[in-house]
Amino acid sequence: MAKEALEVLLSAEQINEKIKELAAEITKDYHDKNPLLIGVLKGAVVFLSDLIREIDVPLEVDFMAVSSYGADTASSGIVRIQKDLDQSIKDKDVLIVEDIVDTGLTLNYLFENLGSRYPKSIKVVTLLDKPDRRKVKFEADYCGFKIPDRFVIGYGLDFNENYRNLKDICILNA
Ligand code: 5GP
């Protein structure tokens, strides 16, 4: 992929600034709680690792992996759990950490699935949101940036497993 095909949408500085804001809100809302943050693999790993270091309450971390786009950039609509949690979430304050809400299918499914496991509370934080592409109604409790309907990569987000290590979030002009 030629470098000129990448167009910076959100710079590392903008992302860092936004993460501090999100973490401050989360710290305030969970000041008397011990939340369990659930990262959705693999895309949310970079976001989660930066976010937790800015949150100033005791917290736990676990991960889930669900089926995603694969080699295509269009959503299949099929959600399958590939890796489940290591622990029960009964009576826990769960915060799902996602990289991007697109059609909403993944988070809608995860929210329902985890919600049926008797958590004390369940909320969602997403770094990015593409509201134009929704197939099901879904609104995250905390959202970093609303972005246009473009395929983005970097800061954990991939195209064919590449580009996750970019510091900026870029539009892939394929
Ligand atoms: P949804 O189920 O909301 O359609 O999709 C959520 C998942 O699709 C995200 O976790 C992410 O893996 C993938 N996805 C959606 N939009 C993009 C995008 O613009 N770039 C990349 N790299 N992945 C995306």
The predicted-structure confidence for 9-47, as pLDDT tens digits, reads as follows 999 999 999 999 999 999 999 999 999 999 999 999 999
Q: Whose CA is nearest to atom 23 of ligand 1?
A: 157
Classify domain 12-152 by CATH architecture.
3-Layer(aba) Sandwich (3.40)
Prediction pTM value: 0.93
* Pairing relationship of beta strands 36-41 and 6-10 according to DSSP bridges: unpaired
Identify the weakest region by mean pLDDT among 57-71, 126-140, 160-174.
Answer: 57-71
Is the CB of 108 inside a 6 Å radius of any atom of ligand 1?
A: no
Is residue 75 lining ligand 1, measured as CB closer than 6 Å? yes
Q: What is residue 26's predicted lDDT score, i.e. its pLDDT? A: 98
Q: What is the mean pLDDT of residues 104-130?
A: 96
pLDDT band at 74 (very low <50, low <70, confident <90, very high): low
CA distance 48 to 127: 10
pLDDT value of residue 4: 53
- Cα 79 to Cα 89: distance, rounded to the nearest angstrom: 20
Active site residue 141: no
- Residue ranges of the domains in the chain? 12-152
Nearest-atom number in ligand 1 for the CA of 159 is 22
List the residue whose alpha carbon is closest to atom 4 of ligand 1. Answer: 103
